[in-house]
Amino acid sequence: MDLELSANLHATRDLLMRSLVVHPEQAPAIPAGLASDLAARFSPRVMRTVVTAPLSWPEKVRAFLSMPAFGAVAAAVVVLGVAVPMMSGPSAETFRGDLPVAQANAVRIIFTADRPEIRAAVEASATFESSALCSMDRSAADTLAGPKVIVDLTSSTITAIDRDGATLHRAAAPTDPGKVADAIALAVSSL
Amino acid sequence: MSPEDPQKHLEKCWEACWHRARRPVEGVLIPEERAVEIAERMMRNIALDFDELPPEAEFTARVIQETSEATRDLVAGERRKKADPQLHHDPEDRRYSQNLDLDRLQSADPERGFQDPEWNRLPQVLRPLALATLSRKGIKGADAEDVFSDTLVELVRERGNSHSAPILDPTVFEELIPLHARIVQFRAIDWFRRRSALKNQPNSGESFDALTGDPDRPLQFEDGRADTISFEKIYTECREALSPVEWQLVYTLYVAQTATVQDLIQNDGFCAKLGIKPGASGSTRRRAITEMVEEALEKIRENLVF
């Protein structure tokens, strides 16, 4: 059923109806290659949503670790970790000059009597760096520069002395070797 | 066709494109296989200009316009190369006996103008057509000869707006026939106006008003054959007047004729594009579509220069 248009529009409508194909000849079908190419060119781009089952957290971690991006980031971190110290490595002064400030400020823990079981207990506590521990006689310990804690097992005292030689802490050494490390830590904390 | 069916849209566009390649202008006929090659190349080329399928009316208008232009250029080039003005002329075109050499007609001497001897043959081609047209309008005998002479002069007269003579417009000789026919139409109108102004007496023949009927629309005054206007011309002249939705509506219903009104009424997606509410009844949809079609046709009627 056609629209009931105003009479004055019939001529315009008829003009449009004759405007596209002006000859009755039958056109050949659109070439298959052209049709497919144009259809492919103008086909709407469909966004496909992939539905996946929810993953447990170990699977998520595994998936995360297996991501290429993770590998790339990890490689970058390794490269930076190696390259940055190389590029900004320690200056020559580190080897030729004074000790680094942090090392100069390190507290030395000095044992002044031959009580290997005490030192072994302190080392076993893993409270201190082993390099911070040393043994020497008392006079040598007194003349050693820098902050220090002297564990005098002869007098059974633990003394904390700062870099200026001032005694900041003094306490009796525990008789129990297992508690000596804690007493030393208390002395170190006063420096 | 559903307005959202791109495959059918492309098929309809192909059909129109092939027809333009086969007959870029009345009187020119290209072999079928050659027309296929031209049409395919044109559609591929124009498709490259778009990232997504453009509106049907716009795409089709551009495809057939550029196909027509390219085919006319191709015909003109081959005729020039082989020195054969009759090449690719439709053997069924009986309006006149033979094409003339358009290049010679268009060659102008800087001082003497269009003086090529080919012009001596042109009246033999155009006179029968012009006199037949003028006779149908009531202009006969010496008056018709005078009008015809005026039309020949007008062919070579430089126009004020473009600074070029109408004879320079055609690409192939066949285009000269409708061009001259339009000049004859306008000169006939002028003849009637002059006659009405000069003679304060009843017209001896048909009056100008009787011929035109609607003075704003000289369409009735033209030949019946002349009231066929190609879609690309309609689209070019009215493109700005109609909205994209209006173009799609008139293109689907009347130009491509790929859907009926009932198809559109039942197409929820298309009705939504027209601003019709989803739950609207069929009669409501029909009324809304009718109003929009009438508005679109009215705009074309007002903007189209017949």
In a mutagenesis test of the A interface, which of B8, B12, B18, B217 is the best target, namely the one with the most A β-carbons within 10 Å?
B18
Categorize the per-residue pLDDT at B258 as very low, low, confident or very high, splitting at 50, 70 and 90: confident
- A75 belongs to a structural domain: no
Contacts of A38 in chain B (CB under 8 A): 10, 43-44, 47
Give the pLDDT score at B241: 94
Who among A1, A9, A34 is closest to B294 (CB)? Answer: A9
Which DSSP state fits B138? T
Structural domain includes residue A18: no
Query: B37 CB near a chain A CB, below 8 Å?
Result: no
B301 touches A at CB < 8 Å = yes
pLDDT at B11 over 60: yes
Chain centroid to CA B26: 10
Distance in angstroms (rounded) separating the CA atoms of residues B1 and A184: 94
Element spanning A137, H or E: none
| Cα(A16)–Cα(B297) distance, integer angstroms | 9
B301 and B208 in a common domain = no
pLDDT-derived band at A175, boundaries 50, 70, 90 = confident
**Which chain B residues have a beta carbon less than 8 Å from that of A2?**
261
Closest CA to B234 of B225, B224, B242: B242
Instruction: Average the pLDDT over B165-181 and give the result.
Output: 95
Q: Give, for A66, the enclosing helix (H) or strand (E).
A: none
Are B243 and B183 found together in one domain?
A: no
Q: State the nearest Cα–Cα gap between B107 and chain A, in angstroms.
A: 32
End-to-end CA gap in chain B? 30
Q: φ, ψ for residue A143 (rounded to 5)?
A: -85, -10
- Decide: A128 and A122 in contact? Cβ < 8 Å: yes
Helix (H) or strand (E) holding A148: strand A148-152
In this complex, which of B18, B23, B219 lies closest to A11 when CB atoms are compared?
A: B219
Helix (H) or strand (E) holding B126: helix B122-136
In whole angstroms, give the CA distance from residue B64 to residue B251. 14
B236 lies in the same domain as B170 = no
Q: Are A149 and A158 in contact (CB under 8 A)?
A: yes
Q: Cα distance from B245 to chain A (closest Cα, Å)? A: 16
Specify if A122 maps to a domain: yes
| Whether pLDDT at B201 is above 90 | no
pLDDT in tens, B297-306: 999 999 886 5
Give how many domains chain A has, as a whole number. 1
In a domain, A110, yes or no: yes
Interchain contact, A42 vs B52, CB within 8 Å: yes
B131 vs chain A: nearest CA distance in angstroms?
A: 26
> Which of B50, B78, B94 is at the close of a domain?
B94
Residue B221's pLDDT is what?
43
Cβ-based contacts of A15 with chain B (< 8 Å): 227-229, 234, 304
| Contacts (Cβ under 8 Å, ≥6 apart) of A54 | none
Residue A176 lies in a domain: yes
Task: Pick the closest to residue B53 from A93, A85, A17, A45 (CA basis).
Answer: A45
Q: How far is B196 from chain A (nearest CA, A)?
A: 28
A11 Cβ under 8 Å from any chain B Cβ:
yes
- C-alpha distance from residue A1 to each of B5, B217, B229, B245, B274 (Å): 22, 29, 26, 21, 20
What confidence score (pLDDT) does residue A105 get? 60
**Could you tell me if B211 and B264 lie in one domain?**
no
- pLDDT range class, residue B214, cuts 50, 70, 90: very low
A·B CB contacts under 8 A: 111
Predicted model pTM: 0.62
- For residue A45, the chain B residue with the least C-alpha distance is B52
Among A13, A20, A39, the residue with its CB nearest the CB of B297 is A13
B262 vs A1, A4, A5: nearest CB: A1
| Probe site for chain A from B297, B303, B305 (most A CB atoms < 10 A) | B297
Q: Using a CB–CB cutoff of 8 Å, tell me whether B296 touches chain A.
A: no
d(CA B277, CA B266): 13
CA dist B241 and B246 (Å) reads: 10
Helix axes A10-17, B282-303, angle to 10 degrees: 90
* Exposed e or buried b per residue across B218-253, where buried means at least 16 C-beta atoms within 10 angstroms of its C-beta: bbebbbeeeeebbbbebbeebeeebeeebbbbbbbb
Which structural domain range is residue A148 located in? 101-189
Identity of the amino acid at B50 = F
Domain count, chain B: 3
Question: Which of the 8 DSSP states describes residue B113?
Answer: B
Pick the last residue of a domain from B30, B64, B94. B94
Tens-place pLDDT, residues A62-108? 777 777 777 777 788 888 877 776 766 555 444 454 444 445 467 88
Residue A30 touches partner B, C-beta closer than 8 Å:
yes
Structural domain for B164, as ranges: 102-225
pLDDT band at A165 (very low <50, low <70, confident <90, very high): confident
Q: Which residue of B has its CA nearest to A5?
A: B294
Write the CATH number for A147.
3.40.50
- Residue ending a domain, choose from B175, B208, B225: B225
